[in-house]
Structure 1
Amino acid sequence: MGAEKNWYLVCYDIREQKRWRRVFKKLKGRGDWLQYSIFRLHLSKAQMEELRWQIEGILAEEDDLMIFRLCHGCAHRVVDSKEEHEWKKAPPSFDIL
């Protein structure tokens, strides 16, 4: 059985293009790219902590990173104008064998 996953909203403000690109590549493929520097991710706490550690290793002091953990109810009330009016429901956090 896998670890419980949560929704996260990751926002960053990186002042140098090379660092921005490195962070973008870390996030791309792990979640949905919503806007220029905003991703939504569905990860376990351990996966999020590892990703945060990797991103913070790229950032300079002048850069900013904000990570919001969203409860299940909050995640389903967020409106994304590029897609549907609700986020897709999370896949179950367990496997049936």
Structure 2
Amino acid sequence: MAEIKHWYLICYDIRSPKRWRKAYKLLQGYGDRVQYSIFRCRLTQRDREKLRWELEQILVTEDSLFVAGLCHRCEERLQKCNRPGVWVDDFDCFRIV
């Protein structure tokens, strides 16, 4: 059975440019950049924990990380402003192998 995916907003404030680039490259593999330090990712619970663990290997105590899960009701109320197609929500719930 396929795992359920949810939207997550991942925001970070990283003080070192070197660590920032590492985190940025890592997050590009998981989702789409919304702003410079904000990504949106559609992840399973397992993927979310893996990503969080990988980010913790990069970040230090002076850096900040915020992961906000969006419930289905929140997803419905997202405003799609300025950039059409930013929040494409017609993902398939099932994966045929």
Superposition TM-score tier, normalisation by shorter sequence: 0.7 to 0.9
Structure 2 equivalent of residue 56 of structure 1: 56
Q: Higher helix fraction: Structure 1 or Structure 2?
A: 2
TM-score when normalising by structure 2: 0.88
Moved over 3 A (4+): none
Q: Which runs of 5+ in 1 are unaligned?
A: none
How far off is 1:84 after superposition?
2.2
RMSD of aligned Cα (Å): 1.9
* Structure 2: gaps (5+ residues): none
Displacement of 1:82 in angstroms is 4.7
Which residue of the partner structure matches residue 94 of structure 1? 94
Offset at 1:95?
Answer: 3.3
C-alpha offsets along residues 45-73 of structure 1, whole Å, 9 cap, x if unaligned? 00010000000111011000000000122
The CA distance in 2 between the partners of 1:16 and 1:82, in whole Å, is: 31
Identity of aligned residues (%): 45
Q: 1:18 and 2:13 equivalent?
A: no
TM-score, structure 1 as length reference: 0.88
Aligned residues: 97
Counterpart-to-counterpart distance in 1, 2:84 and 2:70:
18
